Structure 1
């Protein structure tokens, strides 16, 4: 798994499959990050080719943790087999899912620009 932290964006890039064990390891790694309000937590699933329903549990817990810490958790590059799990469980309507990391950064930049405009 790769972890990158830039400004207020934290990027996680799990690899392989996500089941209960790997999902829990991802959750522990994310919780171990120095959390600041208004951080954007990005989970890039480009290299995840399989996820079972038990792998969703830690992701839902992470989403709850992010919201409790005034952070935003989003997913990107969700491969078709993994996307099907989100759709079947209807969690695709709970998680923010983007096509690419670049799409997330563009939206985050626009949101920050809107905030700065309101503050001035």
Structure 2
């Protein structure tokens, strides 16, 4: 995997508190030169509106540094939330890290 690619794996509930941590993690990735950030939500049990806002803010942080952010491993609750809020139009979502590596990183080489 490219050194410009970072994977973030939050866990638990993605709410206001978890969202603040996610934004800090994204800022750290961008500060260290990451141009591609994958947020793996496999360990996330629940996302509320604050968590959704944090994901959008995180994407804006990455885009402001000319990077790209992707998401993978959505559970059923998060999939439903993404569908209801049309977030699947904003984020490029992969089934898991393997699909991301196979479909996106292979193109980058």
* TM-score, reference length from structure 1: 0.82
Q: RCO higher in 1 or 2 (8 Å CA, sep ≥ 6)?
A: 2
Distance apart, 1:35 and its partner CA: 4.0
Q: Partner of 2:101 in structure 1?
A: 105
How many equivalent pairs are there? 108
Distance apart, 1:58 and its partner CA: 1.2
Q: Secondary structure at the match of 2:37?
A: strand
Inter-partner Cα distance in structure 2 for 1:35 and 1:92: 28
Distance 1:35 1:108, change over 3 A: farther
* Alignment equivalent of 2:85, drawn from 79, 89, 105: 89
* Alignment equivalent of 1:36, drawn from 13, 33, 36: 33
Deviations 1:47-75 (A, max 9, x none): 11100111111110111111111111000
Aligned structure 1 segments of 4 or more residues deviating by more than 4 angstroms: none
8 Å CA contact retained: 1:23, 1:59: yes
8 Å CA contact retained: 1:35, 1:69: no
| RMSD of Structure 2 on Structure 1 (CA) | 1.7
Q: Partner of 1:65 in structure 2?
A: 61
- Report which of the two structures shows the higher radius of gyration computed on alpha carbons: 1
Structure 1 residues without counterparts, runs of 5 or longer: 114-120
* TM-score, reference length from structure 2: 0.89
* Alignment equivalent of 1:19, drawn from 8, 15, 18: 15
Structure 2 residues without counterparts, runs of 5 or longer: none
